[in-house]
Amino acid sequence: MSILIIQILNSLFYASVLFLIAAGLSLIFGVMRIVNMAHGSFYAVGAFVTAWLVGRAIALGVPAGWTFLLIPVGAAVVALLGIVIEPLLRPFYRRAEEYQLLVTFGLLLILEDVIHLLWGGLPLSADPVMDALPIMRIGGLVYPAYNLVVIGVGVVAALLLWAVIYRTKFGVMLRATSQDRRMASALGLNVGLVYVSAFAIGCFMAGLGGAIIVPTQTAVLGMGIDALILAFVVVVIGGLGSLQGALVGALIVSFVRTAGIQFFPEIELAVLYLIAAVVLLVKPTGLFGTA
Amino acid sequence: MTADVSRVSYRPKLLLFAAATLVLVLLALLPLYIDLYQIQLLTYGLIAAIAALGFNLLLGYTGLLSFGHSAFFGIGAYSVAFLLRDAGISLMEFYILIGLPIVALVSALLGYICVRHTRIFFGILTLALSQVVWTLAYKFFWLTGGSDGLRVARPNLLAGMFTFTGGGAFQRFISAYYYYVLAVFAICVVVMWVIVHSPFGKALQAIRDNETRAAFLGLRIRRFRWVAFLISGTMTGLAGILWVPLNGLTTPEVLYWTFSGEIVFMTLLGGFRNFTGPIVGGLLFTYLKTYAVATTEYWQLLLGVVLVLLVMLLPTGIVGALSAATAKLRPKEKSA
C-alpha cells in the first residue's frame, strides 16, 4: 500500500515538472504560433543556473535553508533570457513553419553549447537544497519531503497561470492576441509587449521546472533535448495551445511513465510516443485543443 | 519551378546531361589527387547527399517537413548490422538487396500513418514515430547493443570480387568503397531526377502548391503523398545501409531526433527548392560538421549560428541563391 502511495507521489512529482515545461511550450505556441524547439534548453538553463548559484551560495557559507530562494532566481534568469531572445525570433512568426522549426532548432544548438561553454561538461548538483528538508516516513518507507514541495509548486503554478490567463486584464490581452493578432493590434493592444510577456512567462515556467528538479538530480548536458521531446508528447496529447491540455497531458505521461518503469521498463518511452502518435491520428488537436 | 512541357527543346537537357557527366568524371578522378582521409570524408559526404536527396522528395517536392527521417537511416544501418550478426552475411550487395525492402516496408508503414496529416502535425507525428524506433533500439540492448551499438566489419564488394583482409585492407577498402558509393549515388541521382520530372513528380508539386486544386483535378492526394514518403524513406534508408560499413559501428544516435534535424539542416543548406540543393547541402554539411568538430569543442554553437543565419539571409539555400544570382546576371536570356 505504501508503495502505491509513493508511486502516486512520484507520478505527481514528475507531472509537476513536466507541466511547468509543457505549459510554457503550449503558451508560447498559443500566442506566437511557433513551436519552440529550444524550449527544452530553457529548462536546462534554469537547472544549470540554479545549481551553479546553489553551489556558490554554499561555498560562501549561506545556510542550506536559504538556498530555496535561489530557485525563483534561477527561473527569473531564464525569463530574462527569454526577454532578450523573443524580439530576435519575431521576424520569423510570419514565415513558413519549416523556417520557424529550423530557427528554433538552431537556437537549441546554440543554447546547448552556451551551457557547455559556461559550465563545462561535468554534471552540476544542488543537493543541499534537497537535504535541507527532512525525510518523511510513509508506512515503512521513506520519502523526501522536498518532492512534496515540488508537487506543491506545480499545483500553485497551474492555479496562478490559470488565474492570470482567465481572470486578469493581461490574460484577456493574451487571449485576444492569440485569437487574432491583427484585430488585437487594430484595437490598440501593444502586441509586441504581449509577445515578450508571453515568451518570458513561458521561459520562466521552463526555467522553474529546471530549477526545481535540479536538487533531486543533477544538471547534465543534453537534459533539455530529452525534456523537449517529452514536453512535445504532453502537448500533443493535451492539445497544442491549451492550458488544461498541458495539465492533463502531464498527468497522463507521468502516470504512464511511472507504471512503465514498474511493469514494462523496456518499452516505457516507446509507449509514450505511441500514445502521442495515436492521439495525433485520432484527434490531431489533442484532447483539449481547439486550434 | 517552371513546368517543362514536351515542346521545350532538348538542348537544355543535353547540356544538363553533359554537366552531370562532367561532375561525375571529376568525382571519379578526384581520389587520384587527394589523400585517404579526404576520400573517406568525401564518401561520407556522398552518403549524406543520398540521404538528403531522398528527404527532399518529401520537403521540396511534396511540401511535407519530416522530422523523423533518422528512423529510416537508422533502420537501414541496423538491418545491415543484424544481417551480419544473425545471418552471417558479409556481402554488400546482399545488404542492399535485403536492406532496401526492409526500409521500404517500414517507410510504407510509417508513411501510411503520417500522411494523414500535413504541416506541423505531420512533423510531430514523424518525430514521435521515429522516437519510438529510437527507444526500441536504445532499450532492447540484448538485441541492439543499447547505447554501445553494433559493430559492422568491412563487407566484401561486388559478389566477393573485392575482399578486404590482411595488410593495407583499410586503405584498399576506402578507395574501393568510394567508387562503390559513387556508383550508387549516381544511380540515385538519375532515379530521383526521373521521378521528379515524371508525371508523378509533377503531381506531387501540384499537390504541394495547391492541394485543393490538385484534388479537383482528380489526384488522389493521400496516395501520392504516401508513395512519395515511401520513396523518400527508402532512399534515406539506402544512405544508412551504405553508411554503416564505412563507419564500422551503428549506435542509437543515428535514430535520435537530432539526427533528423541534421538531415533537414543539410537540405536547407543546399536549398530545398532545387534538385541539386540537397546534394550540395549533404556534401557541404559533412565538411562543415567535420571541420567544426575538429577545430572547436563548441561545434554545435557554430552549426546553430550557421543555421540561424541561413534561414535569415539565404532561405533558398546556397544553390538557390547562386541560381538567383546567375539569373540576375543574364536577364535577357531568361526572358527569351
Q: Which of B123, B136, B304 sits opposite A106 (nearest CB)?
A: B304
Which residue has better confidence, B10 or B84?
B84
Span of A191-195, B34-38, B158-162 with lowest mean pLDDT: B158-162
**B311 contact residues in A (CB cutoff 8 A):** 92, 95, 99, 102-103, 106
pLDDT for position A270: 83
* Spans of chain A below 70 pLDDT: 290-291
- Chain A contacts in chain B segment 195-214 (CB below 8 A): none
pLDDT-based confidence at B100, cuts 50/70/90?
A: very high
- What would the mean pLDDT of B132-146 be, rounded to a whole number? 82
User: Are the CB atoms for B278 and B272 separated by under 8 Å?
Assistant: yes
Interface predicted TM-score (ipTM) over 0.95:
no
Q: Write out the three cell numbers for B61.
A: 517536392
Interface check for A39 against chain B (CB to CB < 8 A): the answer is no
**Distance from A81 to chain B by nearest Cα, in Å?**
17
Partnered with residue B250 across adjacent β-strands are B150
Helix (H) or strand (E) holding A219: strand A218-219
pLDDT for position B336: 39
How wide is the angle at C-alpha B240 spanned by C-alphas B236 and B246, nearest 5°? 140
In this structure, is residue A127 part of a structural domain? yes
pLDDT for position A189: 85
Q: Write out the three cell numbers for B220.
A: 488522389
Contact (CB<8Å) B135/A270: yes
Residue carrying C-alpha cell 559492422: B152
Interface check for A162 against chain B (CB to CB < 8 A): the answer is no
Question: Is the pLDDT assigned to residue B73 strictly greater than 80?
Answer: yes
Question: Is the pLDDT assigned to residue B191 strictly greater than 90?
Answer: yes
pLDDT for position B334: 45
Q: Mean pLDDT: which of A240-244, B2-6, B100-104 is highest?
A: B100-104
In 3D space, the residue among B279, B3, B239 whose CA is nearest the CA of residue B103 turns out to be B239
Report the domain count for chain A. Answer: 1
Best B132, B253, B256, B305 member to test A by mutation, with max A CBs in 10 Å, is B132
Interface check for A108 against chain B (CB to CB < 8 A): the answer is yes
In this structure, is residue A172 part of a structural domain? yes
Domains of chain B: residue spans and CATH: 11-335 (1.10.3470)
Question: Is the pLDDT assigned to residue B335 strictly greater than 60?
Answer: no
**B307 contact residues in A (CB cutoff 8 A):** 102-103, 105-106, 109
**A103 contact residues in B (CB cutoff 8 A):** 307-308, 311-312
pLDDT for position B332: 53
- What would the mean pLDDT of B64-74 be, rounded to a whole number? 91
Partnered with residue A144 across adjacent β-strands are A135
For B161-176, write each residue's pLDDT tens digit.
Answer: 777 777 777 888 888 8
Range of the domain at A174: 19-221
How many other CB atoms are there within 10 angstroms of residue A252's CB atom?
A: 21
In this structure, is residue A187 part of a structural domain? yes
In this structure, is residue A143 part of a structural domain? yes
- Chain B contacts in chain A segment 8-37 (CB below 8 A): 35
Phi, psi dihedral angles at B157 (to 5 degrees): -110, 155
**B131 contact residues in A (CB cutoff 8 A):** 229, 269, 273
- What average pLDDT does chain B have? 85
**Distance from A71 to chain B by nearest Cα, in Å?**
27
User: Are the CB atoms for A12 and A34 separated by under 8 Å?
Assistant: no
CB pairs under 8 A between A and B: 117
pLDDT for position B331: 59
pLDDT for position B89: 82
Question: Is the pLDDT assigned to residue B242 strictly greater than 50?
Answer: yes
Amino acid making up residue B147: S
pLDDT for position A191: 86
- What would the mean pLDDT of B27-32 be, rounded to a whole number? 82
**Distance from A22 to chain B by nearest Cα, in Å?**
15
In this structure, is residue A273 part of a structural domain? no
Long-range residue pairs from A2-10, CB within 8 A, at least 24 positions apart, any chain: A2/A138, A2/A139, A2/A140, A2/A141, A3/A141, A5/A138, A5/A139, A6/A138, A6/A141, A6/A143, A7/A258, A7/A259, A7/A262, A9/A138, A9/A143, A9/A147, A9/A148, A9/A151, A10/A147, A10/A258
For chain A, state the CA radius of gyration.
19
Considering chain B, what percentage of its residues have pLDDT values greater than 90? 28
Question: Is the pLDDT assigned to residue B192 strictly greater than 90?
Answer: yes
